[in-house]
Amino acid sequence: MTSLEELNEYTSVDQTDYNDCLGMVEHEYCINGINAQIRMHYIKFDGNGIPMVKALAKMLYTYIIDYCIATRNRPEPLTTRQSAKLTKQARDLFRHPEVSDDSPDRTGEAGELLLYFLIEAVLKAPQVVSKMELKTNHKDEVKGSDGIHARFNKETGLVDFFFGESKLYQDSSSAIAEAIKSVDQFHDIEMYQHEFTMVTKHFKYADEKTRDAISSLVIHGEPGPGVSINHACLIGYDFKGFRELSNIGTPDKILDGFLDAFIKDGERLAKLIQKRFDEFDKKNIKFDVFFLPFPSVVEFRNAFNAALD
């Protein structure tokens, strides 16, 4: 196994955690004119037919050390005391205000952690820079993308870099528009050069051979022939379909009713993002778009902040 192939071994997300809280819908929605994969995911329901929003938030909380603290900066395995110390250190890196419709959470950190979780669990691309750890003040915003991940693609022989973009809005159309706008600006100001530099300077793992192998693929800040640039976008939004489920009956019927409504909503979502991509002129960039409906994005953010507290 080469150093580049060893990169794929660094994913930290346990597939069981993904399967416990999230599901995926098979669909046939396609985007034309650009290489973009639509991925329709949903929060699973408990035995009483209630979406497991709090369980998802609490599960994400268990990953804050993996998400925030580079493995090269922490011992393995962790003792109980080391784990408690690092958990506090990771918690202190988050801003966790109270969120309401009138006072929304502008930090986006819950969505960024959720996107990290999805990229590792679904795309099998480990996080390669712990951006949260680099903040000099917990009130600061992380600059650039919402996450840097990479994997060795055995089919193409390339290293796929995934730059994250997380948008959790009440309105799906606004979330899509802002995500594409952010990616557009990311390339207009050539932010990827800064991100590639971060991979070289702040590679998350202690494996210097793998770091050097990845760094050698970048030529003067530009992607070389062994690199593919991809954007992983999380579009979380309030889904009205949840409101009609309580009268359906059994948990199985509730789930079936939700999935039917979500699949139908997929057509609307596909049209919305197709329109945005039609206007997007950087057709060479590849996208993975995660759609995730919530009963309330405010509820999810508050649940995550409650887990932090």
pLDDT of residue 90: 95
191: exposed, middle or buried (Cβ count in 10 Å: 0-12, 13-18, 19+): middle
Average pLDDT along the chain: 93
pTM for the model stands at 0.95
What percent of the chain clears pLDDT 70, i.e. is strictly above it?
A: 95
Rg (CA), the chain: 19
Q: What is the per-residue pLDDT across 17-76, written as a single tens digit (0 to 9) for each?
A: 999 999 999 999 999 999 999 999 999 999 988 999 999 999 999 999 999 999 999 988
- In three state form, how does the secondary structure of 19-41 look? HHHEEEECCCCCCCCCCEEEEEE
Tokens read off for 31: 């985007």
Average pLDDT over residues 132-140: 79
- Closest by Cα among 215, 217, 213, 224 to 197: 215
CA dihedral of 226, 151, 23, 280, whole degrees rounded to 10? -30
pLDDT of 102 strictly over 70? no
Tokens read off for 97: 């205000």
Helix%, strand%, coil% for the chain, nearest 5 = 45, 20, 35
Strand-pair category, 218-219 with 148-152? unpaired
Contact of 67 with 75, CB cutoff 8 Å: no
CA atoms within 13 A on the CB side of 239: 27
pLDDT of residue 108: 85
Match 């037919």 to its residue by tokens. Answer: 49
Confidence of residue 246 (pLDDT cuts 50, 70, 90): low
